[in-house]
Amino acid sequence: MKKLLNKVVSVALAGAMVLSMTACGSSASTAETAPAESAAAGTEAAAETTAATGDPLKITLCVGRTNDMSFQQSAYEGVMKVQELYPDQVEVNVVEMTDDTTKWEAAFYDAADAGADIIMGTGFQNLDNFTNIPQEYPDTKFILFDQGLDFEANELPNVMGVLFDSNQSGFLAGAVAAYYTQNENAANPDKTLGFVGAMEIVTITDFLVGYAEGARYVDPDMQIKTAYVGDFVDTAKAKDQSKAQIADGADIIFQVAGGAGTGVIEAASEVDGVMAIGVDADQYETMEDPALKEAVITSSLKRLDNAIVKIIGDYLADPASVGFGSNVTYGMEDDAVGIVFNDKLTESIGEENVANVQAILEKIKSGEITVDKASELTSDEINAIVAGE
Amino acid sequence: MEMFLKLDFWFTVFRCATPVLFATMAAMIADRSGILNLGMEGAMAIASLSGVLASGFSGNLLVGGFVGLFCGTLFTMILAYFIMNMKANQVIAGIAMNLAASGGSIFALYSITGDKNTSNSIQSKAFPSVEIPVLKDIPVLGDILSGHNVLTYLAFILAIVLFIVLKKTKFGFKVRAVGESPEAAESVGIKVHRVRYQTMFLSGLLASFGGIYMSMGYINRWTAGMIAGRGYIALATNAMAAGNSLLGMFASLLYGFGSSIAIYLQNMNMDPYMVTMIPYLAIIVFYVLFSLYYRHKNKQHESL
Amino acid sequence: MGKEILRVENLTKIYPGGTVANYKINFSADEGEIHALVGENGAGKSTLMKMLFGIEEVTDGKIFLRGEEIHFANSTDAIAHGIGMVQQHMMLVPSLTVAENLVLGIEHTTGLFVDKKQNVKDTEEISEKYNLKVDADKLVRDISIGMKQKLEILKTMYRGAKIIILDEPTAVLAPQETEELFEQLLNLKKDGYTILFISHKLNEVKYLCDRLTVLKDGKSIGTYNVSDVTVEEISNLMVGRDITLSYDKDETEIGDKILTVDHLNFVDKFGTKKLDDLSFSLRSGEVLGIAGIEGNGQKEAMEILTGNMKCDSGSIQFKGKDLTKLTIGKIRDTGIAHVPEDRNLDGSAPQMSVRDNISAASLKKFTNKFKLLDQKKIDEYCEESVEKFKVKTSGLNSMIKSLSGGNVQKAIVAREFTQDADVIVLNQPTRGVDVGAMEFIHKKILEMRSQKKSMVMVSADLAELQALSDRIIVFYKGKVVGVIDDVKQTTDKELGLYMLGLKQDSKEKLMEA
């Protein structure tokens, strides 16, 4: 009997091990490689620093993966840039937590226990982690990108939420769209633009508000068609919605729909003279299919890398200048948002218009143009802006 | 109302209906043999991914199509094995397999391409759209009915074939006998197990066609979660069709019609949350109407 | 009579659990013979038939067909050897037509398609040939039970059966239909077919069969020429003692109406009107028999009466209350007990113990002052019931499904008869139980009658109705069509005319019911 029990237990254990290994196979490998990479960037530097000025600032970035072609990757590039800029003063560590969000909490605890001075993470999935864990580590600083925190309900003096002015990049996207749709490259002379979002939530409508205002800044007669997929995955539906907008005269569509957004780009690629505007990453670069690539006129960007460089630079100069204990919004003035300027854009709207767009960018930077924020508007007000009323 | 005048609107109806029609037929053939196949969603996910991967790596459309059909069908046969040989509960086994498929497909994509969301890094092939000679020259009708994907035509042809098979062939009789009264079928020497494996095979094949249409026709790549419940809505359309694949065609077109309305209404700035309900609402309303009709028919039948 | 066609020698079936269902059974049947197999429930008739039809594996012994030993792997094998079986539960596909069912699995085809014309033609031909009339084009779900049975017989013959096994074929038929069936079976016999006829009804065996083999406790007692034995002798052989199904009833006073069913209507989920303005009443102290072919509303009326179903309109008056407005529990509290039609589905909880099943309806009586169950009182009550009602069980803790059908039924009767109810609703009280248990239950019913209880009894067994009832009403299409006050003088034939809807009493007479 006992023998049998032993057998059962050992089989069960073996099974559990196999399971856990497959489940976190990727994390096990990245845990080894990622620090090695970061070390490659800063080994000598770190060694020098410790010798020269005592303890360097220990920065740990925890992301799902560093190659998502989107803002996790942008954050990764940011910390690497920081390491390059301040080799003596910082020691950067990158943890790849895999896409399994259940493992993320533990990763943040590990980072805090390992004695990091600043811990960074991205995305709404970390809202709870960045609300609970910092309260247990009051001496460690936490920065959460692309997600605001509730500082009224929680005592979080050591945490900062970093938000981006998506409305500003949306404004530029709208300007690009307005220049394109009247252009001889466009499918029709209609002043109709398309927008396909994942869901009607503030993080997405923020783009829309900017898009509408940017388009009308260029030409007040612009009409905007909007559609929401309802989720982030139904690529086919996004494609159908885009086709419907194209049928209704839209020849450029801004997609803010996550994975489903590929459907928008695909729809654009199938009709001559129709273009798509990408989001979050430079989708001209991320699309491998040449047909899709050529349909991406530009992409709106969140430059986490620039934001990180700015934040760390400020912090090193004067820790008090960084707004811990609040949500801070970074925008165009910090180069934290923007759009892609590349040959494709120039080829599509012409050098003159590219220059116009750049001029608009400067005006936003300087504060000459202010863009409305969706978070400060009611639903009806947003609808009115989109409808041009 | 002006949207009904747009040819693209009607074209979209057929495009949206195609994957649901495949899945409806998949649910139907299993159902007629007495098996509740809930695994369409999973089979579609597996087929859509494996088709994209195989066509991408082989550079050959037909190889991709074949591998997609093979994997999706294999998936369904495993489900059939669980249900018939292991006596697993059909609902639980079906849902478990679907969950496994949704996670497994992402894992497979990641393992092979290092990407988790889409198969953008793979140059996969797509089934072509075809113009139907003569039909394409007819105004209006030609614009709506011609120029669809090959698989769309295949779906509608198969719906008619399935109708004839169930109604007129020996195999169809066997399926119906097994579904309605397995003891009766057994007593005349029909092998119930074998027939049910055959229908599950066909069910898997049909669902897989729906899957490869999604990633190699409807759109031309694979995205995690892209089946988005189309395999489940087929359970409703199948219920509405009551085992008749021509009605299944109608139910799928109804879903397509609802989807198309939802898509075009959004362009007219209707509330997106309300609009999203339309295709599902349409199915439910018609399902209720059909049930009432069947009931009424039965009553008349009895009073004769 | 022709030469021997089928012979079994020392046929034994032992189930994996060790249950011996058949032990060294010997019998033989000749060509052109109708051979009866009789025996109590659990005597092993079904097991024997299943082995002959290839559904059950033979443990030991031999089967000879035309002198050659054969082994069947499955029923298809048996069919191929010319043995067909009509099971009690019809093996038909409801949504296929009669012709399609007949040819199922061996359809004529033209190319890819089933040849509908040829199949219909075949059906009509074989139907004509054996004078078993069926409508080839009708859907099976729309035809009568009688026609379904004919179709089943045709199915076996279409597949080349020379030996046809019929498992209690008359259980679901009206007397006229039974008569018709017998006529056709006698025709088949003339054509050289061998029929193995399984039945409980000894007078049918006596009328129809040439020889009979008696089974008892899994063994064959012997084969007899029907003409050589009387019905009494047969039942003696089956049970091991004399059984008479005629009883001396006490003279009792029949009182006033105690329960009135008033204009009940009910439409089932398929839209069929199951009860059509049904009205009748029960007098105190009487046994009211309800006759009718199954499916004419008896079941629904009893279910509504006991609260298991809700009617669409109408009322049932009892002790100044309308029972249709009450829940099952409330109805029981007002004094109505119920022996349901299906002892395994509604009558008992098969997985639970004999104790739990017997005490279930009386738990309110056995609570102590803390409102907790008093186990001792329950045990006393159950032991007493088991003894009084002769429930054969190895103990109160045995699962009730381990008991034989007759004993389960006795346990249910025990539960319901000890409720001290004024009205007892009996739905098929002895269906499928052996003669011994039947006689016992009958005696208990008469005992309750002597105690001035009123009873409503639905039964498919006309002999039972005649033996026990004070009055019989006949249901047809959800209505009472006949009232028989003088039960002793009525005949099966008269009841049959009512049951088939061919005869109807005057409105005035029905009003009295």
pLDDT per residue as tens digits for the range A272-315: 999 999 998 888 988 878 888 999 999 999 999 999 999 999 99
The residue of A235, A243, A284 whose CB has the most chain B CBs within 10 angstroms, and thus the best one to mutate to test that interface, is A235
| pLDDT tens for each residue of C273-305 | 889 889 999 999 899 999 988 778 888 899 999
pLDDT band at C344 (very low <50, low <70, confident <90, very high): confident
The residue of B57, B148, B221, B261 whose CB has the most chain A CBs within 10 angstroms, and thus the best one to mutate to test that interface, is B221
Beta strands in chain A (DSSP E): 57-63, 90-96, 118-122, 141-145, 159-164, 192-197, 223-228, 252-256, 275-280, 296-302, 326-330, 337-339
CB-CB neighbors (< 8 A) of A263 in chain B: 219, 223
pLDDT band at C241 (very low <50, low <70, confident <90, very high): low
CB contact B9 to A (< 8 Å): yes
Is the residue at C402 inside a domain? yes
What number is the average pLDDT over the span C485-510?
A: 83
CA distances from A85 to A82, A91, A310, B95 (A): 5, 11, 11, 52
- pLDDT value for C434: 74
Sign, CA torsion C316/C321/C327/C330: negative
What number is the average pLDDT over the span A373-389?
A: 89
Q: B37: which 2 tokens?
A: 């196949």
- pLDDT value for C242: 59
Is the residue at C245 inside a domain? no
Is residue A167 a contact partner of residue A372, using CB atoms and an 8 Å limit?
yes
> How far is Cα C469 from Cα A374, in angstroms, rounded to an integer?
84
| pLDDT tens for each residue of C110-164 | 888 889 899 999 999 999 988 888 999 999 888 888 888 899 999 999 999 999 9
CB-defined contacts B:C, below 8 A = 75
Sign, CA torsion B225/B226/B232/B233: positive
- pLDDT value for A181: 94
Chain B nearest-CA distance from A353, in A, is 28
DSSP conformational letter for C342: -
First to last CA, chain A: 81
Chains that touch A (3 or more CB pairs under 8 A): B
Q: C351: which 2 tokens?
A: 């997985």
CB contact B277 to A (< 8 Å): no
Pairing of strands C287-291, C471-476: parallel
The larger pLDDT score, comparing residue C245 to residue B172, is at B172
- pLDDT value for B187: 84
Whether chain B lies against chain C with 3 or more Cβ pairs closer than 8 A is: yes
Residue C94 has pLDDT above 80, yes or no: yes
CB contact A67 to B (< 8 Å): yes
Residues C264 and C157 in one domain: no
Residue A233 has pLDDT above 90, yes or no: no
- pLDDT value for B1: 66
CB-CB neighbors (< 8 A) of A226 in chain B: 266, 269, 272
Q: C211: which 2 tokens?
A: 């020889």
What number is the average pLDDT over the span A121-128?
A: 88
Chain C nearest-CA distance from B200, in A, is 20
Residues C132 and C216 in one domain: yes
The position carrying tokens 């009766």 is B184
Residue A32 has pLDDT above 60, yes or no: no
Is residue C504 a contact partner of residue C498, using CB atoms and an 8 Å limit?
yes
Of all helices (H) and strands (E), which one includes residue C99? helix C98-103
CB contact A260 to B (< 8 Å): yes
Is the residue at C75 inside a domain? yes
Residues C487 and C498 in one domain: yes
CB contact B173 to A (< 8 Å): no
List all residues 6 or more positions away from B193 whose beta carbon is below 8 Å from its beta carbon.
Answer: B84
- pLDDT value for B193: 94
Q: Which of A114, A110, A108, A111 is nearest to A131 (CA)?
A: A108
Question: Given an 8 Å threshold on Cβ–Cβ distance, is C93 in contact with B299?
Answer: no
| Mean pLDDT, all residues of chain C | 87
Residue B24: HSE in the Cβ half-sphere, 13 Å Cα cutoff: 35
Is the residue at C409 inside a domain? yes
| pLDDT tens for each residue of B248-267 | 999 999 999 999 999 888 87
What number is the average pLDDT over the span A50-57?
A: 62
Question: Given an 8 Å threshold on Cβ–Cβ distance, is B188 in contact with C105?
Answer: yes
Residue C200 has pLDDT above 90, yes or no: no
What number is the average pLDDT over the span A43-49?
A: 41
Span of A127-136, C39-48, C93-102 with lowest mean pLDDT: C39-48
Residue A40 has pLDDT above 50, yes or no: no
∠ at Cα C488 (C484, C489), nearest 5°?
A: 75
Residues C374 and C450 in one domain: no
Residue C327 has pLDDT above 50, yes or no: yes
CB-CB neighbors (< 8 A) of B173 in chain C: 96, 100, 104, 107, 114
- pLDDT value for A255: 96
Residues C123 and C206 in one domain: yes
Residue B139 has pLDDT above 90, yes or no: no
- pLDDT value for A34: 40
pLDDT band at C360 (very low <50, low <70, confident <90, very high): confident
Residues C410 and C263 in one domain: no
Question: Given an 8 Å threshold on Cβ–Cβ distance, is C92 in contact with B169?
Answer: no
> How far is Cα C108 from Cα C440, in angstroms, rounded to an integer?
53
Is the residue at C347 inside a domain? no
- pLDDT value for A72: 84
Is the residue at C192 inside a domain? yes
Cβ-count burial C365-378 (b if 16+ within 10 Å, e if not): ebeeeeeeebeeeb
What number is the average pLDDT over the span B166-191?
A: 91
- pLDDT value for B271: 81
- pLDDT value for B23: 97
Q: C347: which 2 tokens?
A: 């009558």
Domain final residue pick, C399, C420, C441: C420
pLDDT band at A2 (very low <50, low <70, confident <90, very high): very low
- pLDDT value for A30: 38
Of all helices (H) and strands (E), which one includes residue C300? helix C298-305
pLDDT band at A31 (very low <50, low <70, confident <90, very high): very low
CB contact B180 to C (< 8 Å): yes
A150 three-class SS: coil
SS (H, E, C) chain B: CHHHHCHHHHHHHHHHHHHHHHHHHHHHHHHHCCCCCCCHHHHHHHHHHHHHHHHHHHCCHHHHHHHHHHHHHHHHHHHHHHHHCCCCCHHHHHHHHHHHHHHHHHHHHHHHHCCCCECCCCCCCCCCECCCCCHHHCCCHHHHHCCCEHHHHHHHHHHHHHHHHHHHEHHHHHHHHHHHCHHHHHHCCCCHHHHHHHHHHHHHHHHHHHHHHHHHHHCCCCECCCCCCHHHHHHHHHHHHCCCHHHHHHHHHHHHHHHHHHHHHHHCCCCHHHHHCHHHHHHHHHHHHHHHHHHHHHHHHHHC
pLDDT band at A20 (very low <50, low <70, confident <90, very high): very low
| pLDDT tens for each residue of C32-60 | 999 999 887 667 888 888 899 988 889 99
pLDDT band at B277 (very low <50, low <70, confident <90, very high): confident
Question: Given an 8 Å threshold on Cβ–Cβ distance, is B223 in contact with A237?
Answer: no
A35 three-class SS: helix
pLDDT band at A101 (very low <50, low <70, confident <90, very high): confident
> How far is Cα B232 from Cα A242, in angstroms, rounded to an integer?
24
Which amino acid, residue B196? R
CB-CB neighbors (< 8 A) of B114 in chain A: 67
What percent of chain C clears pLDDT 90, i.e. is strictly above it?
34
Which amino acid, residue B148? H
Domain final residue pick, C405, C420, C435: C420
Q: Could you tell me the CATH number of the domain that includes residue C485?
A: 3.40.50.300
Question: Given an 8 Å threshold on Cβ–Cβ distance, is C106 in contact with B183?
Answer: no
| Mean pLDDT, all residues of chain A | 84
Residue B33 has pLDDT above 90, yes or no: yes
Whether chain A lies against chain C with 3 or more Cβ pairs closer than 8 A is: no
pLDDT band at A22 (very low <50, low <70, confident <90, very high): very low
Residues C432 and C301 in one domain: yes
pLDDT band at C341 (very low <50, low <70, confident <90, very high): confident
- pLDDT value for C178: 87
CB contact A100 to B (< 8 Å): no
Which amino acid, residue B250? F
Range of the domain at C374: 354-420
Is the residue at C404 inside a domain? yes
CA distances from C355 to C352, C366, C414 (A): 8, 13, 12
Q: Among B12, B117, B276, whose Cβ lies nearest the Cβ of A240?
A: B12
Chain B nearest-CA distance from A234, in A, is 5
- pLDDT value for A67: 75
Question: Given an 8 Å threshold on Cβ–Cβ distance, is B218 in contact with A236?
Answer: yes
CB-CB neighbors (< 8 A) of B276 in chain A: 228, 230
Maximum CA pair distance of chain B? Answer: 67
SS (H, E, C) C190-232: HCCCEEEEECCCHHHHHHHCCEEEEEECCEEEEEEEHHHCCHH
Question: Given an 8 Å threshold on Cβ–Cβ distance, is B181 in contact with C92?
Answer: yes
Exposed (0-12), middle (13-18) or buried (19+): which is A127, by Cβ within 10 Å? middle
- pLDDT value for C146: 83
Is residue B218 a contact partner of residue B212, using CB atoms and an 8 Å limit?
no
Domain final residue pick, C420, C437, C459: C420
Span of A183-192, A354-363, B51-60 with lowest mean pLDDT: A183-192
The larger pLDDT score, comparing residue A111 to residue C17, is at A111
Question: Given an 8 Å threshold on Cβ–Cβ distance, is B184 in contact with C105?
Answer: no
The larger pLDDT score, comparing residue B7 to residue C435, is at B7
Main-chain dihedrals φ then ψ at residue C69, nearest 5 degrees = -75, 135
The residue of C91, C266, C273 whose CB has the most chain B CBs within 10 angstroms, and thus the best one to mutate to test that interface, is C91
Q: C7: which 2 tokens?
A: 């012979």
Separate counts of helices (H) and strands (E) for chain A: 14, 12
Residues C158 and C289 in one domain: no
- pLDDT value for B304: 40
What number is the average pLDDT over the span A98-115?
A: 87
Residue A351 has pLDDT above 90, yes or no: yes
Question: Given an 8 Å threshold on Cβ–Cβ distance, is B177 in contact with C104?
Answer: yes
Residue C424 has pLDDT above 90, yes or no: yes
List all residues 6 or more positions away from C388 whose beta carbon is below 8 Å from its beta carbon.
Answer: C414
pLDDT band at A39 (very low <50, low <70, confident <90, very high): very low
DSSP conformational letter for A335: T
CB-CB neighbors (< 8 A) of B226 in chain A: 233-236, 259
Residue A123 has pLDDT above 90, yes or no: no
- pLDDT value for C243: 57
Residues C151 and C224 in one domain: yes
Chain B nearest-CA distance from A288, in A, is 5
Residue B255: HSE in the Cβ half-sphere, 13 Å Cα cutoff: 32
> How far is Cα A189 from Cα A185, in angstroms, rounded to an integer?
10
Residues C31 and C140 in one domain: yes
What number is the average pLDDT over the span B116-135?
A: 85
Say whether the ipTM exceeds 0.85: yes
- pLDDT value for A59: 94
Is residue A82 a contact partner of residue A92, using CB atoms and an 8 Å limit?
yes
Q: Among B6, B225, B267, whose Cβ lies nearest the Cβ of A245?
A: B267
CB contact A239 to B (< 8 Å): yes
Main-chain dihedrals φ then ψ at residue C452, nearest 5 degrees = 70, 25
- pLDDT value for A37: 42
Torsion angle in degrees (nearest 10) through CA of B116, B118, B120, B123 = 100
Q: Among B168, B190, B298, whose Cβ lies nearest the Cβ of C270?
A: B298
| pLDDT tens for each residue of C364-391 | 888 877 888 888 888 989 999 999 998 8
What number is the average pLDDT over the span A1-16?
A: 48
Is the residue at C217 inside a domain? yes
- pLDDT value for B253: 95
Of all helices (H) and strands (E), which one includes residue A313? helix A304-317
Residue C167 has pLDDT above 90, yes or no: no
- What is the edge-to-edge ordering of all strands in the sheet holding C219-225? C83-86, C163-167, C194-198, C34-39, C211-216, C219-225
CB contact A226 to B (< 8 Å): yes
| pLDDT tens for each residue of C389-411 | 988 877 888 888 777 778 889 99
What number is the average pLDDT over the span B85-97?
A: 93
> How far is Cα C364 from Cα C83, in angstroms, rounded to an integer?
55
> How far is Cα B69 from Cα B203, in angstroms, rounded to an integer?
11
pLDDT band at A36 (very low <50, low <70, confident <90, very high): very low
β-strand partners of A276: A253, A296
Exposed (0-12), middle (13-18) or buried (19+): which is A12, by Cβ within 10 Å? exposed
Pairing of strands A192-197, C273-283: unpaired
Residue B176 has pLDDT above 60, yes or no: yes
Count of structural domains, chain C: 3
Maximum CA pair distance of chain A? Answer: 85
Residues C155 and C277 in one domain: no
- pLDDT value for B266: 84
pLDDT band at C244 (very low <50, low <70, confident <90, very high): low
Residues C42 and C190 in one domain: yes
> How far is Cα A352 from Cα A229, in angstroms, rounded to an integer?
35
| Mean pLDDT, all residues of chain B | 90
What number is the average pLDDT over the span C444-461?
A: 91
Chain B nearest-CA distance from A349, in A, is 26
